[in-house]
Structure 1
């Protein structure tokens, strides 16, 4: 069996009996364990995978399949509790914590759909970066890179790398400022950030509760739709494929193209031309609320810094701080300077800007812009220069954090290549709780966005 099979194509093989879940699990585990990049996975849960695969095999042979995803493999970012395993959040300071006594809610949901959990994927320590760099476990190599070691994006770095390398068809990540959509764009896979609260957060190690959301990384929009349904315990997807001629997109003229690489803009505009040819209505306009977010952050600080500091304050005052990535420590400590009045001002302004942005949109309109202003950069210069690291991190997070602040749902779809032949992502977003409409549109628009029609 070749690598890089979608969930949908594997489902046909498994449900027809052509491929047994035990054989699929063994092949997948062998591929993961022999992969030359040891930084992709933090832990392989072989015993659990073998047990779940055996149960799936017996069900399917007995004619009792649990549905589309039964017997298919999935990997988990190291923020999700898995019973009998330690959730370390990519950090060595948590490795001696007790093992989880129960699965996180979404792990249990996908297990309930019959999926086989293979292990934990690498990530930025405590999910606090958009670059994917981890000094403790190593930084996964971007599988799309053919020249130097380029970053995979973060913080769901291993999840994206595992899918892009063809190790697994599905990996689940978290997204607080872009941590699903950024690595999806950098590695050339699909990454869907759901509306915050669409899935139960029980058993997920947090970064900033007012911004944290979850989502799948996979090879196609259809696979994302299947994963989404199972993650909130639906037995089958309910999303219908829209017609391109029914759809309208608005392209923001504020912030998202600032200092964008020329090749990124070219790839994005090429996708826009293909969408117009398919009948999609396109317009462009300023989004003052986008600029207002960054003005607020300059005046009051960032919500993520305030909430991350509240979470890690005691850890920073303990010997554990010396064992953490100093770049993570530096960013978390920024939250110490944010006062209660600053935090309240951010929360109040956020609510106002969410409504102001919704008012800009015409009925049924989606927002479209490049996921990132640049392609994945080389790793070595970032490790050698902290100033470059922080500047690149801020630039990487810029476009996607807008969606977290405004509580959008969003999906990044590959739309071509930029410098050094690296992938470029096309980000479709919608206001909160319009996930089904977003996924419906993404199903219809994926082919022209990719240039496949």
Structure 2
């Protein structure tokens, strides 16, 4: 078989494995060889060859004995380098953690997917401490967006290596985390699917935090169906129970404030074309203001960002000691901004957040909300590495649309919807209020083919 197993969807590869057309050992060896041959050495921070082959051999034995653990048995997966993996030090994209103790056990979410037979291939690169939407990392290098062509462009962050590993066809799925957009942004920039679950849907123990009141996680993969299968595996059912719902009558709200401000024309055109296609298939489209969006930006201007306050609380001792000199200076600068957020202001942010969550739930109800995942396509790497002001302004713009959903505790799926400037991918973000993950994934299953159009 000549087609790269890493370039297949989870569903395609599962069909081959479950029918014994290919063996998990063959799949794992081919995936490892593909990673080894890939010219960009910054995508992974570690390859877990021994573990992967051991898990593949166990999967192969089960399948030959008729003891398959389900549709994900034998499927390779990569892990963002902030998930604990037994026997390995979790770096969170930082060299200051690289000499720390090895994890005594897998993170529970890693263990859950291992129990149903998934094969852990390696650890993917990321923005240091998950604190950037661009994916630039001065310590381990910056993975190049595989859609870039001759001009090296950012992969999106903070799950940078995860996005590139899937988009480049190295693995069928990679797990990321999302505090302000870190699953959905790399999915959009790289032209793949990224699902950010409602915070708390999965256990976060053994996952290096950024801001615990915002941290969530989810897979980066090729299709919404793949995301549904991975979600089911992390949740525990033997098989996914989520099925597609009719597009006809699907109620979609498009905000007419904030999310299109400063958006590139190509991004808007790709998004609006997808909306036209959905409307032609019977989806109900309405355009309204969501006042909470403006208020969130106002709160951040007045009190500071919630993520920054919590990141400072996490890293304040590190910033006060010698390790600060070994951090990405841009990460350190952003984290230090959290020191300005007083306890009173932090509590005011939390109170306002709960009020806004309730306000938006009453406004949106069971509708879905759609807008571009990011207002621009992936920018070039080189200028951002040398110009701090450009880095901070671009990072803020990159995170703006997605962080609204984190603040409001939404779930969301980024689906490729075409291309913008320089033929770079554009993401269509479909979101729902918190804990409506099943409804969101069901809607995304049916809408995905329409949204993608020719962008398959």
- TM-score normalised according to structure 1 size: 0.99
Matched, 1:251 2:254: yes
CA distance in 2, matches of 1:234, 1:40: 32
Provide the rounded CA distance (Å) in 2 between the counterparts of 1:235 and 1:348.
39
Unaligned 5+ runs, structure 1: none
Residue 126 (structure 2) aligns with: 123
Question: What corresponds to 1:433 in structure 2?
Answer: 435
The residue number in structure 2 matching 1:200 is 203
Cα distance, 1:147 vs. partner? 2.7
- 1:116-155 matches, cutoff 5 A: 116-155=119-158
CA-to-aligned-CA distance 1:39-68 (integer Å, 9 cap, x gap) = 000000001001000000000000000000
Aligned partner (choices 94, 98, 121) of residue 97 of structure 2: 94
Structure 2: 5+ residue stretches without partners: none
User: Does the 8 Å contact 1:106/1:232 carry over to 2?
Assistant: no
| 1:10-409 to 2 correspondences below 5 Å | 10-361=13-364, 363-409=365-411
C-alpha RMSD of the superposition:
0.8
Q: Secondary structure in 2 aligned to 1:267?
A: helix
Measured against aligned partners, the alpha-carbon deviations of 1:380-415 in whole angstroms (never above 9, x if no partner) come to 010111000000000000000000000000000000
Distance 2:25 2:257 in 1: 51
Aligned-partner SS, 1:74: strand
Q: Distance in 2 between matches of 1:235 and 1:137?
A: 38
CA contact (8 A) 1:125 1:325 kept: yes
Alpha-carbon distance between aligned partners in 2 of 1:452 and 1:157, rounded to the nearest angstrom = 25
Equivalent pair of 1:247/1:364 in contact (CA under 8 Å): no
Alpha-carbon offset, residue 246 of structure 1: 3.4
Q: Distance in 1 between matches of 2:190 and 2:293?
A: 26
Does the 8 A contact of 1:200 with 1:232 survive in 2?
A: no
Partners of 2:60 and 2:212 in 1: CA distance: 38
TM-score (norm 2): 0.98
Structure 2 CA distance for aligned equivalents of residues 73 and 169 of structure 1: 7
Aligned equivalents of 1:214 and 1:442: distance in 2?
A: 18
Tell me the SS of whatever aligns to 1:76.
strand
SS in 2 for 1:246: coil
Partner SS state of residue 244, structure 1: coil
CA distance in 1 between partners of 2:269 and 2:150 (Å): 22
Matching of residue 2 in structure 1 with residue 3 in structure 2: yes
Q: Secondary structure of the residue that 1:33 maps to in structure 2?
A: helix
Shift of 1:452: 4.6
